[in-house]
Amino acid sequence: METWFWILGWALSFLTILGNGITIFLVCSRGNLRTKTNAFIVSLAVADFFVGLIVIPSLFFCDIANTCDRRPQLFIGLLFSNTSAANLCGLVLESLFAIVHPLKYITFMTRRRMTQAIFFSWALPVGYTTLRHAFCIVLFQNKACPFTWLVIIPQFLICVVLILCFVSMIFHVCRHDQSARTLAKQLRFNHQVSFKTHREKSAVIMMGLVIGVFLVCYGMYLRCSFLVLSSSKCNDKNYKIPVLVLNSASNPLVYAFFKRDIKKEFKRLFGAVFYRK
């Protein structure tokens, strides 16, 4: 690996660990942040935290050792990247349900269901990645595992689910905004009917940024996987791995600037210097 790769990789890893660590600390230590949506955000932040803690550092020490077996390193890196993607899906689905069915959300999304959703966001990627890794070791031992489609299928499905959810959010917010404008004209009381729409728009903007960065980053992974599947070489590790860590590093920045309650606590922690009034 070239020098620029390690400088960029370590910088992104540091930002990922710091940003997600602060997010976890704030939500866990501030009572007003202990909401259902923020529980999903903490779960995603934990997965992103381990992406920053493991992917670049383990690759760096393996590169120094030379004799390091890269299979455990690749397994752990893939494990937490898949877990991060699954937790993002859980967060987006929860936000979609809250926007489309706000009244049902209050009664349906109990603490028990929230815990179950977060549990499956971890159990499914951990189980799938572990079984795939064990399957490849048993059948192919020291050889490279040829079943690239086992990696492509879940990554592709996650991207499709995120795109469909985001389109549904936009459609619902636009329809609700049109209805609110019509009602506002009839009642001549704009601020009362537009507040909820403004809150929905903020949630959609936040989700759009998180999903957009994720799709760009994982699009590079899918490109590499398709090249391998078509028997072509994929020599893009120098930018693919930093982009993966960049995805995990960007999420805390989105929360800090676009999620109102977390932004308020970031403001208290760091002061108003980094924020516009």
When comparing pLDDT for 179 and 35, which is higher? 35
Segment 255-266, tens digit of pLDDT = 877 788 888 888
When comparing pLDDT for 144 and 18, which is higher? 18
> Which tokens hold the place of 45?
């932040």
CB-based contacts of 248, cutoff 8 Å, min separation 6: 16, 20, 47, 48, 49, 51, 52, 84
Segment 77-126, tens digit of pLDDT = 788 888 998 999 999 998 888 888 888 888 888 889 999 999 999 999 89
Comparing 140-149, 221-230, 244-253, the range with the smallest average pLDDT is: 140-149
Q: First-to-last CA distance in the chain?
A: 43
Q: Is the pLDDT score of 253 beyond 60?
A: yes
CB 214 within 8 A of CB 88: yes
Q: Is 110 left (phi over 0), alpha (psi -120 to 50) or beta?
A: beta
Q: Is the pLDDT score of 65 beyond 90?
A: no
Query: Given pLDDT bands bounded at 50, 70 and 90, which one contains residue 221?
Result: confident
pLDDT for residue 45 = 93
pLDDT for residue 214 = 87
CB-based contacts of 142, cutoff 8 Å, min separation 6: none
Q: Is the pLDDT score of 171 beyond 60?
A: yes
Q: How high is the mean pLDDT of the chain? A: 80
Residues 247-254 have a mean pLDDT of 88
pTM of the entire predicted model: 0.83
Residues 217-228 have a mean pLDDT of 73
Q: Which of 185, 195, 200, 121 is nearest to 158 (CA)?
A: 121
When comparing pLDDT for 220 and 20, which is higher? 20
> Which tokens hold the place of 179?
């209805």
CB 6 within 8 A of CB 60: yes
pLDDT for residue 194 = 45
Distance (Å, rounded) from C-alpha 126 to C-alpha 84?
11
pLDDT for residue 46 = 94
CB 37 within 8 A of CB 261: no
